[in-house]
Amino acid sequence: MPKPVTPRELIKTLNKLGFQQTRITGSHHRFAHPDGRKVSVPIHGNEPIGTGLMLKIIKQDLKMNKEEFFKLVE
């Protein structure tokens, strides 16, 4: 996996993909896409998102492969 992704980078990428923030509960921001996909992003300072969680978000929540996703991350 390329460099660790920060929550800010993930949110920028979600916005590029058409996701909109729907709510904030504590340190978790929830995003939804018009096609029904939903993603929760944990925000704990500027600490990078863990590898396992990032892969789960990419594969299960975004339904993308990691190569496609990392092309979109700045």
Measure the CA–CA gap between 19 and 58, rounded to whole angstroms.
Answer: 14
Radius of gyration of the chain (CA): 11
The CATH fold of domain 7-66: Metal Transport, Frataxin; Chain A (3.30.920)
What DSSP character marks residue 67? H
> Which H or E element spans position 59?
none
- 14-63 pLDDT per residue, tens: 999 999 999 999 999 999 999 999 999 999 988 999 999 999 999 999 99
How much is the pLDDT for 37? 97
Measure the CA–CA gap between 20 and 36, rounded to whole angstroms.
Answer: 11
Measure the CA–CA gap between 68 and 74, rounded to whole angstroms.
Answer: 13
Q: Which amino acid is at 54?
A: M
31 three-state secondary structure: strand
How much is the pLDDT for 46? 86
